[in-house]
Amino acid sequence: MQVNIYFCAVKQKNIEHRSTCPISTALDIFGDKWSLLIVRDLMFNQKKTYGEFLQSEERIATNILADRLLLLEMGGIISKEEHPDSKAKVLYKLTTKGIDLIPTMVEIILWSEKHHEVHPFASRFARMVKKDKDGILKQIKQGLKSK
């Protein structure tokens, strides 16, 4: 929690970059056990609110979720918007930078599906991607852009 020059309280997390290596820079933003699960929920599971993220089966703690949402926002991966249904709700969206993580996320899924026992949905998805990767990537991107 920091204060800006207008003395208006502003939440901020400065992301330190350990080096100019692109892998290191990426990990500075999403190198933890939770951030990419939020991205996953936004990207593949049509989740958009704090409450929906909380319900994911990995059971993220409320304070950690709040912290990671802030970090992802500071990292330029997600943004907050007014929820059309209610002022009490907050709608989270992937930014362009967040949407650009689609290929990375898909490769992680392919790798994990190859080497671990995963949910049948994941295996089916992997099969589809192997048939037509570019098509699926575009489809996911379109689904996110329209919203």
Binding site for DNA (CB under 7 A): 11, 32-34, 49-52, 59-64, 66-67, 69, 80, 83, 85-90
Q: Which does 131 bind (CB under 5 to 8 A by kind): DNA, its own copies, none?
A: none
Q: Residue 14, interface with its own copies (CB under 8 A)?
A: no
Q: Which does 11 bind (CB under 5 to 8 A by kind): its own copies, DNA, none?
A: DNA
Q: Of 89 and 133, which has the nearer Cβ to its own copies?
A: 133
69-74: long-range pairs with CB below 8 Å, 24+:
69/38, 70/11, 70/13, 71/13, 71/15, 71/29, 71/35, 72/29, 72/30, 72/35, 72/38, 72/39, 72/98, 74/12, 74/13, 74/14, 74/15
Q: Residue 113, interface with its own copies (CB under 8 A)?
A: yes
